[in-house]
Structure 1
């Protein structure tokens, strides 16, 4: 699967850029050395939660793992969520990376689709990371500050993502939302 290969290549690249061994990477991310090796070799496809755990340990964006390294020059860019939508990370959770992290901007944008009754919980991100959720269609709830908050199409919320948080579909059809993740000081 192409995504497994990209994730593995990006994990190895980031690890080598930091000069980290697999042992050091396991310590920093809380993910076992065996699992990291399987990911690097494309033998294992990590869940979104596991990718966030690894990204937080590296102090980089999630898109650092699922996209090619972005061009450092900011140019016009058209994206189609329908062409980018993937379900490889969790069954019932579709991920479209609309705009990967770019240092000059300090954020990344995803379109996420939750199947009916799907719930995703995320571990805390690094200090200063904020998420901006805009419900596009359906009905969903976002968990932060130890409470679930309902969003309907057209409603939005921003919260500090350095806490446990999550998203769940509480409607009958798919819930589609945009997630703008901002990293402090343009630090991915």
Structure 2
């Protein structure tokens, strides 16, 4: 399965299921209408940060875009730069409200994450290398075997300031009571 085709179809289906136009989706996600259209037409591959904005705006787990239906092999998500590769370990679990990822960050790479949905808690454990994390405006370094838990609904960042790839896992807990679905808007620019 081609992940970019899966991502494009998933985004378009989620938007259409809500009855949203591309303009409405842009308002809800903070991602430009042009970029969203390119993603839906499989003309552009979003960065991990952009994909998080889209997932947050749609109020869906991140793994929705990179974990195909049960029975199919989950695929790694790596934008063309391959600076950050995200592979689902446990895609969205409806009962436990979490998903878990294996992530690699290339030497010198920086990934800034916009705040996730209110109430999201993120757990990060470094498996190899050293990971710099900015949480609540403060940078700290985690080495292999170390972890941190933090409120994912605040801006945070991941940085690899070393010459070796860092490998870590991220377990993301979503609130049990998700916000009510946002009302549909005119569908004027499919």
TM range (shorter): 0.7 to 0.9
* 8 Å contact from structure 1 (residues 4, 45) kept in 2: yes
Q: Which runs of 5+ in 2 are unaligned?
A: 180-190
Q: Does the alignment pair 1:101 with 2:69?
A: no
Q: Deviations over 1:147-184 (max 9, x none)?
A: 01111110010000111101111333111000001100
Report the Cα offset of residue 113 of structure 1. Answer: 0.6
Alignment partners' CA distance in 2, 1:53 and 1:90: 19
Of Structure 1 and Structure 2, the greater helix share is in 1
| CA positional deviation for 1:69 | 3.9
Q: 1:90 to 1:124 in 2, by over 3 A?
A: farther
Deviations 1:70-124 (A, max 9, x none): 58xxxxxxx8xxx844433643212211121121121111111111121111111
Question: In 1, are the aligned partners of 2:126 and 2:167 still within 8 Å (CA)?
Answer: yes
| Consecutive aligned runs of 4 or more in structure 1 exceeding 3 Å deviation | 83-86
How far apart, CA to CA, are the structure 2 residues paired with 1:92 and 1:33?
25
Match of 1:8 in 2: 8
**Partner of 1:25 in structure 2?**
25
Instruction: Normalising by structure 2, report the TM-score.
Output: 0.86
Matched, 1:184 2:175: yes
The number of residues matched between the two structures is 179
Q: Residue 104 of structure 1 contacts residue 186 of structure 1 at CA under 8 Å; is this kept in 2?
A: no
- SS of the equivalent of 1:6 reads helix
- 1:63 corresponds in structure 2 to 63
Partner of 1:47: 47
Give 3-state SS (helix, strand or coil) of 1:99's partner. Answer: strand
Deviation at 1:55, TM superposition (A): 0.8
Structure 1 unaligned segments of length 5 or more: list them: 72-78
